[in-house]
Amino acid sequence: MLGTVAFQGARGAFSYEACLALRPWNEPKGYETFAEAIAAVASGECECGLIPVENSIVGLLPDPNRLIEEHGLKIVAEAWRPMRQMLMGQPDAKLTDLKTVESHPVALGQCKASVASLGLKPVEAYDTAGAAELVAASGDLSRAAIAPAVAAEIYELKILRADMQDSADNRTRFVVVER
């Protein structure tokens, strides 16, 4: 659909944030998986997609890169964006209450040492903001999420620790793809 930009994730995800910053004239439309977001562009359902393809800590992201190539999409723009990971939990939660932390596997990889230093068990989720949404809905003080600050606002969570990423120079390269 003309005017829409596909992204992987829920409202409040890093890709959602990137859409608002880099494509403010487009309406962001979230998809649960990279495959669904990229297929939406390939089919013409969305005008373009904003897809993360590389991170300064974890390197190239194989799935999105492979899917972009398989669908024959062209990259028309790119931008590196800082990734500031926030640890968030229930409004009444304290760090000492936490037992698990949920997030996208790439985000968990970017925060591995920080998560270990807090003694938290990592739990993989399909998306950073999706994890925040699940944690918020649970009402469980022992569950936390790692996601962008905007997710804490959207899902009414409290940021318990800022800058969970292991590297201060944590950045992700996003590309705009079209048919």
Name the β-bridge partners of 75: 177
Tokens 């089919």 label which residue?
Answer: 43
The catalytic residue among 7, 34, 128, 172 is 172
The catalytic residue among 7, 14, 34, 174 is 174
**Host H or E run for residue 114:** helix 112-117
> Nearest Cα to 120, choosing from 93, 152, 144, 136?
144
Tokens 């669908």 label which residue?
Answer: 71
DSSP 160: E
User: Among this protein's residues, is 96 annotated catalytic?
Assistant: no
User: Among this protein's residues, is 172 annotated catalytic?
Assistant: yes
Could you give the residue numbers annotated as active site? 172, 174
